[in-house]
Amino acid sequence: MTDSVLIAGRGTQQVDREFLRNLPLPVGTTTHQPIAHIQIVNALIETLGFRHINVVSDEYAVSVDGAKMFGLLELDHEFSGVRFAIGIRNANDKTMRLALTVGYRVFVCSNMAFKGDFSPVLSKHSKNFNLVDSLSVGVDRIQRSFEPLKQSICDWKANILSPNDARLIIYEAFVEGKLAVSPKLMKAVHGHYFEPQYQEFEERTLWSLSNAFTSSFKDLKPMQQYTATAKLGPFLNRHFKPF
């Protein structure tokens, strides 16, 4: 896997864990408790380890001022050509809450998809916030989502789309704004789906279409990519046809 799914767009830079360790922590207030990005990452890795889940690779991006952090931690949990992963975001400038989401990384084109939103953990940095407790609850929820994720992958691979079905879904996503992403990506999604780069996605299925979307999302800024991929799963599920 040579391509990075976590693209450091304008206003961010791609960094490693050591860089996070050296970032200064802002001064807190009576209502806001900044938490060092590295503290969150280390606590998450430790929490996963207690459940015998190991991180095989990780990557991060931070804003220029270091206040915002986005990360991707790949897990040693694989299924049907994908590896499950955890997306993480944090901000010490009150612009967004600490959040986790579970998803999967497709090996062949090294892209990422999130099944849902950031519900496993979504916490403000209040003075009573307990990081370890919140991550423990979040990881438990993430573990429970592994099986539904596996079933979703199988279902999408079996869901055949006609060319008109695929075009309609792409139209709804961009022209009708169901995903709230730039219409400029519409051509890229169309190309990835109807002229796939990899043999694995030549079958005209909902699975192939989902990968066409996530492959195109790699050109977005980290925050935009997270938002778009989080909305993609529920959006495509509305077009899933049980068989």
At 195-237, the pLDDT tens digits run 998 888 999 999 999 999 999 988 887 777 877 887 888 899 8
Would you state the pLDDT for residue 188? 96
Phi, psi of 90 (to 5 degrees): -155, 150
**Mean pLDDT across the chain:** 84
Residue 31, classed as helix, strand or coil, is: coil
Distances (CA, A) of 133 to 47, 102, 140: 10, 18, 11
Would you state the pLDDT for residue 43? 95
- Tens digit of each residue's pLDDT (9 = 90 or more) over 12-39: 788 899 999 999 888 877 777 889 999 9
Domains of the chain by residue range: 12-145, 156-237
Query: Is residue 146 within 8 Å of residue 51, measured between CB atoms?
Result: no
Would you state the pLDDT for residue 122? 59
Distance CA 6, CA 242 (A): 33
pTM of the predicted structure, to 2 decimals: 0.78
Distant-in-sequence, close-in-space partners of 114: CB < 8 Å, separation ≥ 6: 87, 101, 102, 103, 226, 229, 230, 232, 233
Would you state the pLDDT for residue 7? 42
Distance CA 241, CA 175 (A): 22
Query: Is residue 218 within 8 Å of residue 106, measured between CB atoms?
Result: no
Residue 243 pLDDT > 90, yes or no? no
Residue 68 pLDDT > 80, yes or no? yes
